[in-house]
């Protein structure tokens, strides 16, 4: 499988920026009523702001030149009232937009989290958890900037720009040429930033994601780092990653900052052109003084939205990379999902059949991990899978759990092809336990009841006694209400594994999968656990993957897996009598143990 490490930049699918904006705006349409109110308030504020120069023109031409003090006070009162209305309307629509953007971000983050939970194990196999975390947190937060800026900046400034330009053309087509002169310069600068800046911001987000992943990996593996005294090497590597982030950020900012001077140059050129046209084409008279003053204000207002839009655009291309990363995951289809006509698997007895199963990872379809594997497991049988590391033991139970799809062949449970039943109905009847069973932060009680919250305390205690977890839990200060941290912090490895065992058995699965489930338990505890689950295993079909061959001697069938196939199978005595691969594995292990 192609795996992306914490040091590698992620591949990002190229996305049309208009498509991303379109999807964001589509999300905004979920709030049509509030958006309509915001639009009305924005139009009111734009109407007020674009009317000011006309009022100034009237004040100069009709009140100041005619020395009409009363009229001057009246116009001043009107302008103050308009300013108050503008202030109140702006505050209201900005507050509404803050509420909308916060709610949208909450919903997008929730949908992204739910979608990630539905993606197959192949998604997590290929990505460090820190990079996934970066998308759920940092990239979604960056979306908020895009969402709020689209309404708070893009909408009002774009409308203002159109209205201002229309008023300028109506009042004086000649003087309006002062604005037209600046447009080519602005568009050229915009194109320049679009070509260079966006890719640089994408690169920065990739480097920033690498840093988040490295920090997360360092926290998770801090005990290993300390045990090998590798703090200095880890810090040196972290500094290198941070320097890459800083370099990528500076590179992007350098290009983005070039756009602002372009606006200033265009504004200065436009103003100079305005005065030139006013003097040479219209002439400056007492009667045209108000009109010229209004045009000076309008020209300044014309460049103000452009300046704000430029700032918005820089922010947009900065955060658009985050939006692309979020939607890229949202668009991912899980490789393993329910078929169109999938049915719910009824309550099963536990008969399992592998029918000429071949498997290869999706990223390496030509490299078969399993090839033409066939076997049956009857109801209540315990099936042991043994063999060297990488032989395909875990792959078999992963396919049975439908974490992956087969390349060829079928897997049947009670005669049902598992590719044609719903995943939820299948896994609801499975109990899966691995060497590294994750315990969540919370109480021991919450962790044991995680798969079956409605279980009674009596049922919980019964399974804890069965796996010999009840004794040590009862001795804890708060018993089952003892709070542990993530990954079972506060418990020993063996204790944490016993809690995970109890959690699995409480769901009363019809098929039980134990993948190196006793690897973290000491030999004495393992004997107690084996005794405790012996009766439970009789009630269900069980698949046991173990390197300790002593733990699977009592299995009904033992399959020796190697090179993607079954070398031999039988019970312990028959396989030992054959003196084949199992005999050699068993003998070698006891020689090492002695």
Q: 64 near 81, Cβ under 8 Å?
A: no
> 348 — alpha (psi -120 to 50), left (phi > 0) or beta?
beta
Mean pLDDT of 54-81: 77
In Å, how far are 449, 551, 570 from 385, measured between CA atoms?
29, 11, 11
Q: How far apart are CA 483 and CA 504, in angstroms?
A: 19
The token pair that represents 73 in the structure block: 């006070």
Task: Provide mean pLDDT across the span 387-415.
Answer: 88
Whether the Cβ atoms of residue 204 and residue 245 lie closer than 8 Å to each other:
yes
**Partners of 437 in the beta sheet?**
none
Ranges of beta strands (E only) in 314-361 are 352-360
For the beta carbon of residue 37, count every other beta carbon within 10 angstroms.
Answer: 14
Phi, psi of 119, deg, nearest 5: -70, 150
Q: Which of 249, 134, 132, 260 is nearest to 192 (CA)?
A: 260
| Domain spans, the chain | 17-330, 339-429+541-594
Look at residue 466 and tell me whether its pLDDT is greater than 70: yes
Between CA 248 and CA 256, with CA 254 as vertex, the angle to 5 degrees is 105
- Checking 163-167 for CB contacts under 8 A at 24+ apart, the result is 163/46, 163/47, 163/50, 164/50, 164/298, 164/301, 164/302, 164/305, 165/302, 167/50, 167/53, 167/54, 167/298
Q: Is the pLDDT of residue 296 over 50?
A: yes
**Minimum mean pLDDT among 6-15, 127-136, 309-318, 535-544: which range?**
6-15
What DSSP character marks residue 551? Answer: G
Q: DSSP label at 421?
A: B
411, pLDDT greater than 90: yes
Positive or negative, the CA dihedral 243, 247, 248, 249 is positive
Phi, psi of 539 (to 5 degrees): -90, -5
CATH class of segment(s) 17-330: mainly alpha
What pLDDT is attached to residue 356? 92
CA distance 271 to 275: 6
The full 3-state SS of 205-235, as one line of letters, equals HHHHHHHHHHHHHHHHCHHHHHHCCCHHHHH
Distance CA 578, CA 153 (A): 79
Helix 140-149 with 17-28: angle, nearest 10 deg: 80
Task: Go through 11-20 and write b for each residue having 16 or more CB atoms within 10 A of its CB, e for each that does not.
Answer: eeeebeeeeb
Is the pLDDT higher at 510 or at 278? 510
Q: How many residues does the chain have?
A: 594
pLDDT at 2: 46
Amino acid 174: pLDDT: 73
Q: Which CATH architecture has domain 339-429+541-594?
A: 3-Layer(aba) Sandwich (3.40)
Q: Quick check: 575 and 558 in contact, CB under 8 A?
A: yes
**What is the spatial distance between Cα 273 and Cα 222, in angstroms, rounded to a whole number?**
65
Q: In this predicted structure, what is the pLDDT of residue 201?
A: 72
Selected residue with higher pLDDT from 340 and 15? 340
Quote the CA–CA distance of 9 and 204 in Å, as a whole number. Answer: 10
Q: Which candidate, 362, 354, 336, 541, places its Cα nearest to that of 422?
A: 336
| Residue 53 pLDDT > 90 | no
CA-based angle 517:579:542, to the nearest 5?
25
The model's pLDDT over 340-397, given as tens digits with 9 standing for 90+, comes to 888 998 989 889 999 999 998 877 888 888 989 999 999 888 899 988 877 888 889 8
The winner for highest mean pLDDT among 72-76, 371-375, 465-469 is 371-375
Question: pLDDT for 185-218, tens place per residue?
Answer: 766 766 666 666 667 777 777 787 777 777 767 7
Distance CA 19, CA 28 (A): 14
Mean of the pLDDT values across residues 26-44?
A: 84
Question: How many Å apart are CA 172 and CA 593, to the nearest integer?
Answer: 98
Match 């390349």 to its residue by tokens. Answer: 407
CB 542 within 8 A of CB 517: no
Torsion, CA 262, CA 267, CA 272, CA 273, rounded to 10: 90
Give CA angle at 499 (498, 503), nearest 5°: 115
More reliable by pLDDT, 511 or 466: 511
Cβ partners under 8 Å of residue 370, min gap 6: 357, 358, 359, 392, 395, 396, 399, 564, 565
C-beta separation of 558 from 571 below 8 A: yes
Q: Give the residue ranges of DSSP H helices in 119-227.
A: 121-125, 129-134, 140-149, 155-171, 173-220, 222-227
**What pLDDT, on the 0 to 100 scale, is given for residue 376?**
92
């Amino acid at each position: 499988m192609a795996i992306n490490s914490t040091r590698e930049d992620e591949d990002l699918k190229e996305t049309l920026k208009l498509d991303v904006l379109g999807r964001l705006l589509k999300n905004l349409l979920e709030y049509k009523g509030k958006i309509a109110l915001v639009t009305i308030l924005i139009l009111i504020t734009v109407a007020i702001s674009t009317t000011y120069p006309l009022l100034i023109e009237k004040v100069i031409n009709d009140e100041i030149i005619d020395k009409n003090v009363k009229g001057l006070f009246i116009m001043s009162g009107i302008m103050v009232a308009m300013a108050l209305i503008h202030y109140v309307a702006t505050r209201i629509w900005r507050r509404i937009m803050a509420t909308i953007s916060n709610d949208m971000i909450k919903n997008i983050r929730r949908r992204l989290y739910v979608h990630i939970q539905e993606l197959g194990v192949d998604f997590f196999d290929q990505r460090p958890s820190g990079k996934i975390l970066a998308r759920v947190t940092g990239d979604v937060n960056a979306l908020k900037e895009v969402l709020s800026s689209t309404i708070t900046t893009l909408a009002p400034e774009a409308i203002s720009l159109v209205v201002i330009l229309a008023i300028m053309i109506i009042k004086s087509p000649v003087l309006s040429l002062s604005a037209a002169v600046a447009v080519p310069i602005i568009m050229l600068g915009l194109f320049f930033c679009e070509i260079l800046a966006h890719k640089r911001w994408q690169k920065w987000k990739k480097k920033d994601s690498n840093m988040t992943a490295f920090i997360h990996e360092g926290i998770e593996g801090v005990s290993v780092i300390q045990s090998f005294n590798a703090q200095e090497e880890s810090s040196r590597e972290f500094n290198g990653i941070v320097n890459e982030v800083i370099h990528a950020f500076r590179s992007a900012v350098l290009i983005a900052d070039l756009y602002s001077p372009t606006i200033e140059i265009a504004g200065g050129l436009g103003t100079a052109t305005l005065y030139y046209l006013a003097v040479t084409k219209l002439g400056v008279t007492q009667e045209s003084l108000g009109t010229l003053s209004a045009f000076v204000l309008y020209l300044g207002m014309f460049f103000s939205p452009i300046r704000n839009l430029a700032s918005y655009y820089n922010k947009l291309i900065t955060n658009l990379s985050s939006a692309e990363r979020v939607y890229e995951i949202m668009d991912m289809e899980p490789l393993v999902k329910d078929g169109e006509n999938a049915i719910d698997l009824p309550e099963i007895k536990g008969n399992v059949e592998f029918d000429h199963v071949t498997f290869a990872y999706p990223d390496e379809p030509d490299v078969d991990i399993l090839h033409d594997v066939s076997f049956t497991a009857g109801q209540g049988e315990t099936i042991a899978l043994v063999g060297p590391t990488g032989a395909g033991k875990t792959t078999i139970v992963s396919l049975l759990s439908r974490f992956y799809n087969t390349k060829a062949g079928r897997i049947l449970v009670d005669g049902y092809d598992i590719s044609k039943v719903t995943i939820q109905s299948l896994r609801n009847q499975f109990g899966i336990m691995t060497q590294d069973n994750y315990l969540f932060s919370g109480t021991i009680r919450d962790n044991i009841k995680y798969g079956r919250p409605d279980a009674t305390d009596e049922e919980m205690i019964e399974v804890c006694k069965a796996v010999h977890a009840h004794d040590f839990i009862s001795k804890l200060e708060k018993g089952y209400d003892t709070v542990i941290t993530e990954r079972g912090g506060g418990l020993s490895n063996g204790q944490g594994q016993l809690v995970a065992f109890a959690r699995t058995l409480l769901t009363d699965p019809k098929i039980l999968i134990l993948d190196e489930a006793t690897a973290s338990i000491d030999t004495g505890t393992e004997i107690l656990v084996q005794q405790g689950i012996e009766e439970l295993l009789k009630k269900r079909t069980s698949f046991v993957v173990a390197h300790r061959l002593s733990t699977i001697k009592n299995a009904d069938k033992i399959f020796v897996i190697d090179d993607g196939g079954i070398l031999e199978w039988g019970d312990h005595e028959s396989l030992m009598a054959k003196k084949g691969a199992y005999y050699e594995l068993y003998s070698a292990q006891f020689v090492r143990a002695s």
